[in-house]
Amino acid sequence: MQQQWSAVDKYMISSLIPGDEVLTRVLENNLRAGLPQHDVAANQGQLLALFVRMTQAKRILEIGTLGAYSSIWMARALPPDGKLITLEADPTHAQVARLNIGLAGLDDRIELREGPALRSLEDFGDIPPFDLIFIDADKPNNPGYLEWALHYSRPGTLIIGDNVVRDGEVINGQSDDARVQGVRRFIEMTGDNPRLTATALQTVGVKGWDGFTLAIVNG
């Protein structure tokens, strides 16, 4: 099935999403630097950009930068006065991400904060709420990321949680994988919180079998 999923994704990408030299170079930089190949697919990057436009977001928080591929997709969809803050714990990833952000000409729109995300979130202090929050970092800490996302939200903020299906392991309550348990707790917290209206979708494609959650902060 994986071969067919990938073929369908490639068809959709080639039919709907124009080629982009900068984004191609970003992925090449990530591969050359030995970063894990966990970047979103191009159709998923375009989906994130569409979410930015649909919500008319001006302030975005991204938890988990990797090489800034998804950061660039979202930041490009911001208005000229928009701002994206992205958090990355790994110094090598952060170094590559800064290179890619500069390559995309987005130094004025993307602010990368290096260090463990939970510590960075704690150090934000009194800042304006975000319009869109994308959670795509280490899964065991997803529950903590959700708590901070709510702290820095306003009514109408869109919170996206990536990689929540994990090849179907999300339904295994007995899993000894801390990533699976972190995702399960994240989903349960989302569903139990009266401040959130949420759903989740499974996805298949070049990235395999996975999925994401979408939640709107209620008024």
Note the pLDDT tens digit of each residue in 129-146.
Answer: 999 999 999 999 999 999
| pLDDT of the residue at 73 | 98
- pLDDT recorded at residue 70: 98
CA distance 106 to 146: 27
Q: What is the mean pLDDT of the chain?
A: 97
Asked if residue 219 has pLDDT above 80, the reply is no
CATH superfamily of 2-217: Vaccinia Virus protein VP39 (3.40.50.150)
Alpha carbon distance 67, 31 (integer Å): 9
Average of pLDDT values for 16-39?
97
CA–CA gap between residue 155 and residue 131 (Å, rounded): 9
The 10s digit of each residue's pLDDT in 71-122 is 999 999 999 999 999 999 999 999 999 999 999 999 999 999 999 999 999 9
Q: How many angstroms separate the Cα of 5 from the Cα of each of 8, 46, 49, 210?
A: 5, 18, 22, 12
* Per-residue model confidence as pLDDT tens digits over 47-62: 999 999 999 999 999 9
The pLDDT score that the predictor gives to residue 39 is 96
- List, in order, residues 6 or more apart from 158 with CB less than 8 Å away: 51, 55, 57, 131, 132, 133, 214, 215, 216, 217
Residue 44 pLDDT > 80:
yes
Per cent of the chain over pLDDT 90 is 99
